[in-house]
Every structure is written in C-alpha cells, then in structure tokens.
Amino acid sequence: MPELSLTDFVDFASAGGTSKLTKVRRFKLRPEYEPAFDFYKRLREGIVSCHAAGDAKSQLAKHVGDITDAKKKGHYADAIKGYKKWWGKKPLSWFAPPREAYSEGDVSIRVNPELGLRVDGKPHVIKLYFKADKLSKPRVDVITHLMDKALRASAPAGTTMCVLDVRNGKLIAPTVPIPDLDAVLRGEIAYLAAVWESVKT
C-alpha cells in the first residue's frame, strides 16, 4: 500500500508527463527516513517549539540553534527573516494541529501540518513551505483541499486551512471552492496507485 506524506503527494500531483513516473519511482525505492537528510528539520522544529513554548518572535533563533552547515545557513537565514516578517506584531497563540491520514483506495496520504495558531484569535492550521521555488496556486489548492478533507472534523470550529510561504512571509488560504477538485484528486491518486504497481523493487 503506497503511503506518502502530503508534500510527496503534492510533488507528484504538480508534476507532468513522465516526471510523475520519476517521482513515484523515487518515492518507492528511497531508503527509510533519515533525519540527517531532512534539510529543514531544525528550522521546522524550531518554529514549532517557539510557538508551543509561548515565546516571543525574538526567541525564534534560540529555538533553531546555531547553524554551522554552509549550505543551510543562507537558506535558514532567508526563511527566518520571512517568517518574522509574517509574524510581525500579530498576536499568535498555539494549539496542537490535527494530523490524520487521508486514504483513497490503496493510497494513504499523511496530512501533517506543522502549526496550529490562533491569529488574532481565529484558528489557523498551517502547512509550512520553505523552498525557494515559487509556490504555485495549484499546489496551494491541493494542499489546502486535502487538509480540509482530512482534518476538518478534528480541527477547532471555524479553522482556516492554509499554507505559509515562509521565505516570502505570505499566508495563503483558499478564497472560493474549486469545482470538481475532488474528482481531480481521485484521478491523481488512481494514477499514482497504478504507476506504483508498475515500479519494480
């Protein structure tokens, strides 16, 4: 049974042509998760721990810690700057975000947002996007739609499902329903399942 993270599935759904096959092959044949190769792990965990502790924006760097890796240093600095820009003077309070698996047929997708924050008193469940690549609208639509389907029942009433483009300090939430997005997702999942079976280990 294919089991993917939300990020994996969105990468697959956003790809075109034979790139889909390449991604499925990589997902299926890659080794077990190794924290040392998770590029943004410390930054992601630092942001979470800062909010969970109720600390001020000025304490964020303390939670992330010193970054000595030359490759990470610039990327982390850009992301922290963008995150602080978004945070600004907004009153934020933490709640544990819901996390669930969304299943369709034989495919299971782990829907795992990092943050639950009340922004000006209103609950938001937030998926963090760290990459420098432009965050496209179709990618946001898939992420927030899957978050809504998987997490709505266990989220606080009135929660906004959204994606934070960390580097650009921009919180993005859907504004209007997208007709037939359920059908599109079912098609992508069915295609993924079929390609998965064709990849030999």
Where in the chain are the domains? 3-198
131: its two tokens? 């990459």
Q: Is the dihedral of CA 129, 130, 136, 142 positive or negative?
A: negative
Q: Confidence band (pLDDT; 50, 70, 90) for 174?
A: confident
Q: What's the whole-model pTM score?
A: 0.93
pLDDT of residue 201: 67
Residue 129: alpha-carbon gap to chain centroid: 6
Residue 43 burial by Cβ neighbours in a 10 Å radius (0-12, 13-18, 19+): buried
Tens of pLDDT, residue by residue over 60-107, are 999 999 998 898 999 999 999 999 999 999 999 999 999 999 999 899
Residue 189: alpha-carbon gap to chain centroid: 18
Whether 200 has a pLDDT exceeding 80, the answer reads no
Cα separations in angstroms, 39 against 36, 47, 71, 86, 105: 8, 14, 10, 22, 31
Q: CA 169, 78, 7 angle in degrees (round to 5)?
A: 70
Q: Alpha-carbon distance 107 to 15, whole Å?
A: 18
pLDDT of residue 35: 67
